[in-house]
Amino acid sequence: MLVNALSPHIAKQDTNYKKCVPVSIRLAITLRYLAAGDSFASLMYLFKVSKELIARIVPETCKGLISVLKENIKMPKTAEEWMLIECQFEKHWNFPHCIGAMDGKHIVMQAPNNTGSDFFNYKGDFSIVLLALVDANYKFTYVDVGCKGRISDGGVFKNTGFYVNLQQRQLNLPQPTALPGRMTPIPYVIVADDAFALDMNFMKPYPGQHDKRSKERIFNYRLSRARPPEKAQLITLTCCYLHNFLMTQKSTSQIYTSPGIFDTENRITHSAIDGSWRRDAPMANLLPLRNVGRRPTGDAKDIGEELANYFQTDGMVPWQETLA
């Protein structure tokens, strides 16, 4: 399927003097590079293609993949589409009014030429930032890649089109409604961690330590359940599109999402079970965004309190006090 779709974008014409590398091999080289991180020297011996040609094949194929898979990452455009996501968060994670989980990572890379300290991050590495919004089923609904690593983590989100559209109320989010069994209308929210400032549409954990079974600790537990330079930017973005593609294709989804890969919950105790991706992925190349210690607005605190109170009344789940 991908070979046929890619052919118009990356196929080369054979000549009397040279036989071109087939699209299938170009795709195989690129997928191997993306999945395993093999060096060009290793790929040269594996596929019998020169390093110089591989250096051209990989970015060219990545651009082709982004073009043919562009429909695989779609942000909702209507209130009804946002509500479909909200229903999945309530069904799978017992968190109503949630329309997405957002997180960001610094993607470590080699120092780019002639960029000075633009990509130099707080850990002393060179990086770009991946900021992503996902639905309740681990699929990307919004991705922003390429923000320079030197930009403060509090400023990364403000450099995205998503933030601008959110502030200008152009995302067509559903109108505020009351939680089940409650009277106060509250906005639909995105759950995040301390790297994001608390806002009317962003919920993050209560800071500090809290007593076991306290309202704040239960809220933090329920919240945690709901969150699960040009070349580097191109590669990262391609991986995001491929992820959604593999999640939605019947022929690949069961293999790609085989049991044990993603984080899950024990169905009896509801305790968290780490997925194998945490052991297999080179985590040293993924740095978290730093916490943002910004005072929340009064409205944002009120929304958090309303959700916290809901989780102790009509929205209570039987196991939360044991695990919180």
Choose among 108, 92, 66: nearest CA to 244: 66
- 301 and 256 within one domain: yes
As averages over each run of 10 residues, the pLDDT of the chain (324 residues) reads 91 83 94 88 93 93 93 94 96 91 82 65 77 90 80 74 91 94 91 79 82 85 72 80 86 73 73 70 59 59 86 83 75
The predicted structure's pLDDT at residue 152:
62
- 112 and 45 within one domain: no
- 79 and 63 within one domain: no
- The pTM is what? 0.77
What DSSP line would sit under 168-227, residue for residue? TT-S-PPPPEEPTT--SEE--EEE--TTS--BTTEE-PPPS---TT-HHHHHHHHHHHH-
- 167 and 48 within one domain: no
Q: Which residues contact 266 (CB under 8 A, 6 or more apart)?
A: 273
Q: Which residues contact 74 (CB under 8 A, 6 or more apart)?
A: 141
Domain boundary among 68, 85, 104: 68
> Domain limits at 28?
2-68
- 81 and 61 within one domain: no
- 16 and 134 within one domain: no
Mapped onto helix, strand or coil, the DSSP state of residue 49 is coil
The pairing of strands 126-134 and 264-265 is: unpaired
The predicted structure's pLDDT at residue 292:
55
Rounded Cα distance between 68 and 57, Å, is 16
Which secondary structure element, helix H or strand E, spans residue 248, and what is its range?
Answer: helix 230-248
- 194 and 280 within one domain: yes
- 143 and 58 within one domain: no
Residue 266: C-alpha distances to residues 213, 261, 273, 280, 324 (Å):
20, 14, 7, 21, 15
Rounded Cα distance between 275 and 249, Å, is 21
The predicted structure's pLDDT at residue 224:
80
Domain boundary among 53, 68, 83: 68
Q: Give the chain's domain count.
A: 2
CB 107 within 8 A of CB 285: yes
Three-point CA angle 286, 290, 296, nearest 5°:
140
